[in-house]
């Protein structure tokens, strides 16, 4: 573990350690997995325009998200069923996020409950919400999160049905028998069907998730909670405008880790369209494909207020528990700080669109000197 020098190295370790069904569930994307590869590859087509001879002896990575001060613009995305990766699961992730001074988002489908995660100690935490058909259960869950001290709701809006993840179908994916979806325990919703010819999760989603979810429900959510609502799963300017009209406090540009609709753009490619449509009215965040500090810089240069990481957390958790997650956060912090220094930026507000060049930029005509 001491020899790990970058975030990607954890995936190979996780693949060796985890049961095939679990690794495949975490690692795979939808159908041809084109978007899965593109989420990473797209970053490599964005290049830097570094500025030199700037005094970078002091660099400040801190920022505020929805009014909460955090150590860096790198946060933890919601990922389901973390106890499949490591016995401590979401507890370890929560402690690592808190130690790093950043935000953890707990999945609705966590193998630890909102109360259990809150019991790990202080920390700024968001709760990711899937709206199920039984609205009383939804209301109960949101209120439990609020009572447990969670600071925002990340409403997932790209999953009226589960994407077709072929590895999960082949593996007949189901939650290992000793685990339970803790937030739904006691509501007859805590277990997945293990007698299915499909992915057990796909069957669960088809039976429980509310396909009728629409913009009115974003407004309804604001009547049951005072917590700010982040709309997670926006990829277009049109939906950005609708999210603002519906009262969203922020947007997460996300393609669900390329696990829902294949052949949507990489999130870094969709980011600028969303940022322009938001017109600075609400913050825009990004998840999907972040593996390097340079990726974080590129997202901020294109207008993101911060990023969320998913798979790197799961793979490092599998490899080394809480210490693994801490190390991933530290590596990304240090790489991002280095990218800032080498681009001549001392604070997040100094990162501008002029620090990057993309394939859709007009060729720059050299000024006559």
Helix, strand, coil percent content, the chain, rounded in steps of 5: 45, 15, 45
Q: How far is CA 67 from CA 124, 151, 206, 287, in A?
A: 11, 10, 36, 20
47-48 vs 356-357, strand pairing mode: antiparallel
pTM score > 0.85 for this model? Answer: yes
Q: What is the CATH number of the domain that holds 288?
A: 3.20.20.70
Contacts of the segment 171-176: beta carbons below 8 A, 24+ positions apart: 171/20, 171/21, 171/24, 171/25, 171/199, 172/196, 172/197, 172/198, 172/199, 172/200, 173/21, 173/24, 173/25, 173/199, 173/200, 173/201, 174/200, 174/201, 175/81, 175/84, 175/111, 175/200, 176/22, 176/84
pLDDT tens string 319-353: 999 999 999 999 999 999 999 999 999 999 999 99
68-70 vs 63-65, strand pairing mode: antiparallel
Residue 206 or residue 190, greater confidence: 206
What is the chain's alpha carbon radius of gyration, rounded to the nearest angstrom?
A: 20
Instruction: Assess if residue 100 is contained within a domain.
Output: yes
Instruction: Assess if residue 200 is contained within a domain.
Output: yes
pLDDT tens string 217-260: 999 999 999 999 999 999 999 999 999 999 999 999 999 999 99
**Max CA separation in the chain (angstroms):** 72
pLDDT at 366: 65
* Three-state DSSP string of 48-81: ECCCCCCCCCCCECCEEECCEEECCCEEECCCCC
The token duo for 89 is 């699961």
Q: Which residues contact 275 (CB under 8 A, 6 or more apart)?
A: 284, 302, 303, 304
Average pLDDT, the chain: 95
* CA angle, residues 201, 181, 169, in degrees to nearest 5: 15
Instruction: Assess if residue 365 is contained within a domain.
Output: no
Q: How many structural domains does the chain have?
A: 1
Instruction: Assess if residue 368 is contained within a domain.
Output: no
Residue 193 has pLDDT above 70, yes or no: no
* Active-site residue list: 256
Confidence grade of residue 2 (pLDDT, cut at 50, 70, 90): confident
Confidence grade of residue 205 (pLDDT, cut at 50, 70, 90): confident
pLDDT tens string 113-164: 999 999 999 999 999 999 999 999 999 999 999 999 999 999 999 999 999 9
Phi, psi of 253 (to 5 degrees): -70, 115
Token match 């220094």: residue?
A: 341
pLDDT at 187: 79
Confidence grade of residue 367 (pLDDT, cut at 50, 70, 90): low
Instruction: Assess if residue 2 is contained within a domain.
Output: no
pLDDT tens string 259-304: 999 999 999 999 999 999 999 999 999 999 999 999 999 999 999 9
Q: How far is CA 115 from CA 39, 94, 165, 203, 322, in A?
A: 33, 12, 31, 27, 19
For 183, the domain range is: 7-360
pLDDT tens string 29-87: 999 999 999 999 999 999 999 999 999 999 999 999 999 999 999 999 999 999 999 99
Instruction: Assess if residue 66 is contained within a domain.
Output: yes
Confidence grade of residue 368 (pLDDT, cut at 50, 70, 90): low
Q: What's the rounded Cα separation, in Å, for the pair 76 and 329?
A: 9
Instruction: Assess if residue 367 is contained within a domain.
Output: no
């Amino acid at each position: 573990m001491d020899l790990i020098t970058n975030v990607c190295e954890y995936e190979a370790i996780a693949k060796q350690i985890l049961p095939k069904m679990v690794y495949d569930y975490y690692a795979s994307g939808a159908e041809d997995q084109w978007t899965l590869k593109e989420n990473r590859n797209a970053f490599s087509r964005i290049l830097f325009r570094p500025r030199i001879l700037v005094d970078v002896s002091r660099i400040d990575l801190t920022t505020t998200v929805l009014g909460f001060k955090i150590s860096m613009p790198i946060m933890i995305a919601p990922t389901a069923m973390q106890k499949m990766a490591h016995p401590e699961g979401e507890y370890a992730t929560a402690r690592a996020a808190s130690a790093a001074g950043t935000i953890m988002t707990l999945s609705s489908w966590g193998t630890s409950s909102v109360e259990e995660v809150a019991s790990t100690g202080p920390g700024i935490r968001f709760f990711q919400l899937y709206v199920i058909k039984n609205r009383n259960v939804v209301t109960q869950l949101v209120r439990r999160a609020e009572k447990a001290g969670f600071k925002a709701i990340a409403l997932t809006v790209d999953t009226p049905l589960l994407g077709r993840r072929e590895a999960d179908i082949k593996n007949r994916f189901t939650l290992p028998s000793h685990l339970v979806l803790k937030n739904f325990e006691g509501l007859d919703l805590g277990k997945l069907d293990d007698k299915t010819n499909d992915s057990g999760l796909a069957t669960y989603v088809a039976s429980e998730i509310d396909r009728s979810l629409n913009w009115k429900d974003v407004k309804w959510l604001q009547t049951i909670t005072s917590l700010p609502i982040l709309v997670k799963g926006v990829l277009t300017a049109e939906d950005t405008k609708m999210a603002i009209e519906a009262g969203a406090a922020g947007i997460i540009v996300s393609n669900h880790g390329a696990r829902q609709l294949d052949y949507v753009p990489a999130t870094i490619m969709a980011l600028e369209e969303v940022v322009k449509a938001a017109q600075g009215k609400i913050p825009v965040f990004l998840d999907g494909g972040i593996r390097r500090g340079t990726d974080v810089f590129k997202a901020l240069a294109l207008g993101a207020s911060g990023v969320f990481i998913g798979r790197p957390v799961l793979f490092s958790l599998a490899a080394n528990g809480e210490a693994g997650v801490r190390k991933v956060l530290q590596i990304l912090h240090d790489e991002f700080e280095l990218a800032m220094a080498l681009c001549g930026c001392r604070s997040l507000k100094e990162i501008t669109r002029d620090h990057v060049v993309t394939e859709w930029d007009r060729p720059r005509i050299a000024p006559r000197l």
